[in-house]
Amino acid sequence: MAIERTLSILKPDALEKGAIGKIISRFEQAGLIPIGVRLQHLSKSEAEGFYAVHKERPFFKDLVSFMMSGPVVLMCLQGENAVLKNRELMGATDPKKADPGTIRADFAKSIDANTVHGSDSLENAKNEIAYFFRSTELFEYSHKK
């Protein structure tokens, strides 16, 4: 399997619940290394730009205001099969449909406040990482064979 990078965002409800450490711990236990981490309070244009693919969707406005409602933790995770592994750890978009033991099943309250974002493909991961991180802000981590 290939070493990949993916973007994870711990949404404002994660900090509010005091769940940031627990969630990062799940990534580390699954072999996903946080090679770039930043706490940031997103501006309207940053949140809108990040979710631009959803701008025609009925929930877009609510999604943007939720993402600005408090600080988020932006993270670049690196590891084997990182894109899919992160999506599996997250669980389904709607926490009511998320498998038991996933982050969203354990922490998320609703489809709006669903605790985490994760890139859904390798190509989107590259673009999303570049949206928030300069390459010099990412640690060149070498995984042991």
Asked if 86 is part of the footprint of ligand IDP (rule: CB under 6 A), the reply reads no
- The residues of the shown chain that bind Mg ion, judged by CB under 5 A, are 120
Q: Which long-range contacts (CB under 8 A, 24 or more apart) does 127-135 make?
A: 128/7, 128/50, 129/5, 129/6, 129/7, 129/36, 129/76, 131/7, 131/49, 131/50, 132/7, 132/38, 132/40, 132/50, 132/74, 133/36, 133/38, 133/74, 133/76
114 is an interface residue for ligand IDP by CB under 6 A: yes
Instruction: Out of 37, 84, 111, 138, name the contact with ligand IDP by CB under 6 A.
Output: 111
Q: Show the tokens assigned to 15.
A: 């900090």
In the residue annotation, 143 being an active-site residue is answered as no
- Binding partner of residue 63 among ligand IDP, Mg ion, none, CB cut-off 5 to 8 Å per kind: ligand IDP
Q: Could you tell which of ligand IDP, Mg ion, none binds residue 111, using a CB distance below 5 to 8 A set by kind?
A: ligand IDP
| Residue 117 binds ligand IDP, judged by CB under 6 A | yes
Q: Active-site residue numbers?
A: 117
Binding site for ligand IDP (CB under 6 A): 54, 59, 63, 93, 111-112, 114, 117, 120
